Structures are given as C-alpha cells and as structure tokens.
Amino acid sequence: MEEGLGVQESKTFESICNLLRNHSYKVTPQRQTILQTFMEHVDRHLSAEEVYMLVKHQNPEIGLATVYRTLDILAEIGVLLKNDFGDGRSRYEFSRKDEHHHHHHLICLSCGSVSEFDDDLLESLEAVITKRTQFKVMDHDLKFYGYCNKCEEAL
C-alpha cells in the first residue's frame, strides 16, 4: 500500500481529491459523491453495499461496481483501510497513518455491529516476542467477537 493520509488530513475532502489526482485518478462526480457519503459516516465501518445504499438516493446513476472500484482505489492509495470481519464482505474505514498500531475491533455475532477499542494492551507481549525470537513486530490486527449490549440483553 502506498503512503496515504493521516486521520486528520484524511477528513479533508480536498486533500483526498488531490491525493487521487496525484495518483493519476480522475475525481469524477461519482467518486466525489461516494467520498462525501463515506466522510459523512466516518464513525462507521461501511461495506460497499452500505455505501451504495447511501449514495443511490443522491445519485441514482451510480452503480455498485463504481462503489467497489472507488473504495478499492481509496484503499490502494491509503485513504481507507479494508477490513474483513468474517461476515463475507469487506468493510472500510479511514486509515490512521499516525497510529503505531491499528485500533482493535469488537464485532457483534448477532447484529454484526462493529465498534472500536483503542487501548493497545499488547505492547508488552510484542516486547517479549521480539526478545525471545528476534522478530521485530511492526503491527498486529486484533478482533474480538461477542455480543454488543443490545444483543446481550435480548439473549
């Protein structure tokens, strides 16, 4: 993946448009609509299908394939992270290049909601791994599967 934008910069619509241009991608009206919609839902982990459902009301001629291509391009240039939460579809979120590690995800097995957990409690484990194996850990990805408060109450 090429170098992208930090979380603060990534929230600037024009910065992302400039990054697209710098990577020789056109900033089409469809891409602008998709990007703006994604930015309006920055706190969510959206799938291509969810983005499509949101954009088709504003711009009915946008196809699902255009949404997929745009999200893949934004992931390729480092604006978005593409996540697999085990539900058969990729979900996207803004990348945080300023983080040493990615935040962790809490995934509800019932409703499929995804929330974030920012505390990185694995730094001491990484130090032990490095000391014992001479393997320098650069990053990790941790997902917790369980039930959100709402679904837990319904069980």
Q: List per-block mean pLDDT (blocks of 10 residues) for the chain, which spans 155 residues.
A: 41 89 95 92 90 92 95 93 85 73 79 79 85 87 87 87
Same domain, 55 and 90: yes
Specify if 1 maps to a domain.
Answer: no
Nearest to 139 by CA among 88, 107, 93, 96: 96
87 CB-near residues (< 8 Å, 6+ apart):
107, 112
Tell me if 57 is assigned to a ligand binding site.
no
Tell me if 140 is assigned to a ligand binding site.
yes
Specify if 90 maps to a domain.
Answer: yes
Same domain, 142 and 74: no
Same domain, 128 and 63: no
85 CB-near residues (< 8 Å, 6+ apart):
45, 91, 105, 107, 112, 114, 143
* CATH number of residue 87's parent domain: 1.10.10.10
Predicted local confidence at residue 28, as pLDDT: 94
Same domain, 64 and 88: yes
Same domain, 68 and 117: no
Q: Distance between CA atoms of 79 and 49, rounded to whole angstroms?
A: 19
Predicted local confidence at residue 70, as pLDDT: 96
The number of folded domains in the chain is: 2
Are 139 and 129 in contact by the 8 Å Cβ rule? The answer is no
Q: What's the domain range around 79?
A: 7-94
Specify if 2 maps to a domain.
Answer: no
**What six digits make up the tokens of 91?**
């979900």
Same domain, 80 and 134: no
Predicted local confidence at residue 99, as pLDDT: 54
Coil, strand or helix at 66: helix
Tell me if 17 is assigned to a ligand binding site.
no
Specify if 22 maps to a domain.
Answer: yes
Which residue is associated with the tokens 């400039």?
18
Tell me if 76 is assigned to a ligand binding site.
no
pTM of the model as a whole? 0.71
* CATH number of residue 108's parent domain: 3.30.1490.190
